[in-house]
Amino acid sequence: MVAIRKRRLLFVLIFLLAGTTTLLAWSPSAGSNAALAAIHAYRRYGSPLVTRAGIECRFQPTCSRYAEVAIGKYGLMKGTFLTAKRLLRCTPLTPKGTVDLP
């Protein structure tokens, strides 16, 4: 139950971040750079807290790494969309170690 709430919160944050960075973007890469900075901040500060709570990413590469690659490869909008689709596929029925690349 807690994992579902955290996943939904992350989903909402991604879309809020995507909306605000596109409004503030002065160049095509400014929004992507802001999103990548948020991903790095999550990895540094949020991921250790989630790991301590006993929640592990079921996918390889991890969801934050997937988001980083997707945004870098496809840009902010499509990369955010692909990441959101992946987060919605994360269920207790998904086997751990599932390889899923953008």
The tens digit of pLDDT for each residue in 93-102 reads 877 777 777 7
Distance CA 24, CA 65 (A): 24
Residue 32, classed as helix, strand or coil, is helix
Both tokens assigned to 49: 């807290």
Question: What is the average pLDDT value for the chain, to the nearest integer?
Answer: 78
How many domains does the structure of the chain reveal?
A: 1
User: Could you tell me the residue range of the domain that residue 70 belongs to?
Assistant: 2-99
Q: What is the pLDDT of residue 24?
A: 44
Both tokens assigned to 78: 């499509």
Helix axis angle for 28-41 and 2-24, nearest 10°, is 150
